[in-house]
Amino acid sequence: MSGGHPGEPHDAAIAGRLNWLRAGVLGANDGIVSIAAIVVGVAGATASLPAIATAGIAGLVGGAISMALGEYVSVSSQRDSQRALIGKEIQELHTSPDDELTELAGIYRSKGLSEATALTVAKELTAYDALAAHLDAELNITEDTVVSPWQAAGASALAFFVGAILPLVAILLPPEGWRVPVTFAAVLLALALTGSVSARIGGSSVARATARVVIGGALALAATFAVGTLLGTRLG
Confidence of residue 20 (pLDDT cuts 50, 70, 90): low
Q: Given a cut of 50, is residue 1 above it in pLDDT?
A: no
Average pLDDT (16-24) is: 64
- What residues have CB less than 8 Å from 113, skipping those under 6 apart? 121
Residue type, 47: A
pLDDT tens for each residue of 48-76:
999 999 999 999 999 999 988 988 898 88
Q: Given a cut of 80, is residue 95 above it in pLDDT?
A: yes
CA distances from 26 to 57, 144, 163, 211, 221 (A): 20, 25, 9, 15, 18
Coil vs helix vs strand at 4: coil
Question: What is the overall mean pLDDT for the chain?
Answer: 83
Q: Is pLDDT larger for residue 6 or for residue 194?
A: 194
pLDDT tens for each residue of 148-160:
788 888 888 999 9
Q: What pLDDT, on a 0 to 100 scale, did the predictor assign at position 8? A: 44
Confidence of residue 14 (pLDDT cuts 50, 70, 90): low
* Range 160-179 burial, b when 16+ CB lie within 10 A, else e: bbebbbbbbebbeeeeeeeb
Q: What pLDDT, on a 0 to 100 scale, did the predictor assign at position 7? A: 45
DSSP code for 138: I
DSSP code for 136: I
Sign of CA dihedral 97, 102, 107, 111: positive
Residue 116: which H helix or E strand, with range?
A: helix 115-134
Q: What pLDDT, on a 0 to 100 scale, did the predictor assign at position 10? A: 44
Q: What does 82-111 look like in DSSP terms, one character per residue?
A: HHHHHHHHHHHHHH-HHHHHHHHHHHHHHT
- Whole-model pTM: value is 0.72
Confidence of residue 194 (pLDDT cuts 50, 70, 90): confident
How far apart are the C-alpha atoms of 58 and 35, rounded to whole Å? 9
Q: What pLDDT, on a 0 to 100 scale, did the predictor assign at position 2? A: 44
Q: Would you kindly state where each structural domain of the chain is located, as residue ranges?
A: 15-235
Q: Is pLDDT larger for residue 23 or for residue 74?
A: 74
